Amino acid sequence: MTMRRVRLLAVLAIAAVLLVACRPGDIDASFGTNGVVTFGPNFDLGQAIVVPDGRIVVPGTLLSRTDPSHISLRRLNVNGTPDTNFGNQGVVDTFVGHGSGALVLVRQPDDKLVVGGFVEPGAGMPPPTELALLRYLPDGALDASFGNGGVVVSDLGSYDAIVAVVLQLDGKIVAVSDGNHGTLVVRLNPDGSADTTFGWAGIVGLGGHFAAGGPPHVLVQPDGKLVVGASGVRPNDPVGTAVFQLVRLTPTGTRDASFGDNGVVSTDFGFGVDRESFLRGLVLRAGGKLLAAGATDDASGREMFALARYNSDGTLDSTFGTGGRVTHAMPSTNPFNVFAFATQRYGAVVLAGIDYPRAVLARFGPAGDFDTNFGSGGIATSTAIQSVDVLTSQPNGALLAGSRNGGQLARFAG
């Protein structure tokens, strides 16, 4: 065999290995340590974001035996190493009240970061929590032009926390809270003051529409209307069975009567009155259609992937799946739950969670078709992290999967 042929075979062998290692759904070993960045079990991580230059910002709550819990932001370079140009070696810690925590994060067009979470005003067993929004400059310093030194706290006198944040095109900030007051939608002006043109003093309560089973999600339509989705109570159900539920508000915060039943749409998946469905994500599609995704119980009570697509008036889109719904069962018989959702370029969506004892991800195409080119036959699993609690899609399609068990962030090829 000639030396040239030996070199050619060697190159082909290396290329084959790289192709196998980079299949969609595989762990990206170039990120962190063997594909995983570990912040530690005391870091309760929230939803990560990716800024335009590819760096990653992760919000979270740092728990301590000696200090109060506090908001902690971590910024990583593209390869998962700490970004030393942010805060103190890539870490920004903020102490507010007796204790505080961050759950969600959104980036403004000027690169400022808006963080949503909670503040404990004082000690107690358990202490009440107040709604908290903070804004940071790109270098991690608090933005003094926002609220009180960069912090806005709203005391409602009970347990409440910001669980979703979105920006309007006019720079106003919409936040959704979950807690003892049910689901509240809060709108702030760009300087952090309450937007008094929305609801009552900037707050709209959604009453008892949403049930336990996961935080609400919110999006802004091009016409300024707001759609909030979560797991809601099936109408007229005495036992409170959870179903997909969407509520649409006008720009002033009133219910949009042109959507569903006076602004409310509820969807189950037809497996029985005692079978629950849990919404994990919501995205706006072309033509004003809405896609909701999460999980539902099948006839035997086992959880499965579930998606529903709606027309702009809230009716189910009959061109999607079967009567507007898509379900897909897991091939394994392990205990299984769906916790997280992300949308990728070209309209694909990914659902993720735990297929005990390993993390699991599944991808669906824009038409609801199960993507068998992802992972192994459409399912990607990994024991590098134990579950996927939060999920973020990078612009190149890679997936950042966060596990609250151990405070870990993994990257999967997209």
Burial class (CB in 10 A: 0-12, 13-18, 19+), 47: buried
Burial class (CB in 10 A: 0-12, 13-18, 19+), 45: buried
CA-based nearest residue to 388, from 350, 356, 361: 361
The predicted-structure confidence for 57-85, as pLDDT tens digits, reads as follows: 999 999 988 888 999 999 999 999 999 99
The predicted-structure confidence for 17-66, as pLDDT tens digits, reads as follows: 333 446 899 999 999 999 999 999 999 999 999 999 999 999 999 998 88
**More confident of the two residues 8 and 395:** 395
The pTM (predicted TM-score) of the whole model is: 0.91
**pLDDT interval class at 125 (50, 70, 90):** low
**pLDDT interval class at 14 (50, 70, 90):** very low
Confidence check: pLDDT of 9 > 50: no
Contacts for 305 with CB less than 8 Å, ≥ 6 apart: 293, 295, 326, 327, 328, 329, 330, 338, 351, 362, 364
- φ, ψ for residue 20, nearest 5 deg: -65, -40
**pLDDT interval class at 212 (50, 70, 90):** low
Identify the pLDDT of residue 7.
Answer: 44
The mean pLDDT of 359-380, rounded to a whole number, is 95
Among the residue ranges 100-109, 211-220, 380-389, the one predicted with the least confidence is 211-220
**pLDDT interval class at 3 (50, 70, 90):** very low
Identify the pLDDT of residue 146.
Answer: 98
Confidence check: pLDDT of 384 > 90: yes
Give bridge partners of residue 93 from the DSSP assignment: 72
Identify the pLDDT of residue 128.
Answer: 74
Give yes or no for a contact between 57 and 49, defined as CB atoms under 8 angstroms apart: yes
Whole-number percent of the chain with pLDDT over 90: 79
Identify the pLDDT of residue 345.
Answer: 85
Identify the pLDDT of residue 123.
Answer: 65
**pLDDT interval class at 158 (50, 70, 90):** confident
Confidence check: pLDDT of 122 > 80: no
Confidence check: pLDDT of 153 > 70: yes
Among the residue ranges 50-59, 164-173, 176-185, 311-320, the one predicted with the least confidence is 176-185
Among the residue ranges 9-18, 45-54, 284-293, 339-348, the one predicted with the least confidence is 9-18
Identify the pLDDT of residue 124.
Answer: 60
**pLDDT interval class at 2 (50, 70, 90):** low
Beta strand 217-220 with 408-412 is unpaired
CA-based nearest residue to 414, from 400, 401, 398, 402: 398
Q: Over the chain, what is the mean pLDDT?
A: 91
The mean pLDDT of 248-262, rounded to a whole number, is 97
The mean pLDDT of 130-136, rounded to a whole number, is 95
Among the residue ranges 140-149, 213-222, 252-261, 379-388, the one predicted with the least confidence is 213-222
Confidence check: pLDDT of 95 > 80: yes
The mean pLDDT of 277-284, rounded to a whole number, is 96
**pLDDT interval class at 15 (50, 70, 90):** very low
Confidence check: pLDDT of 8 > 80: no
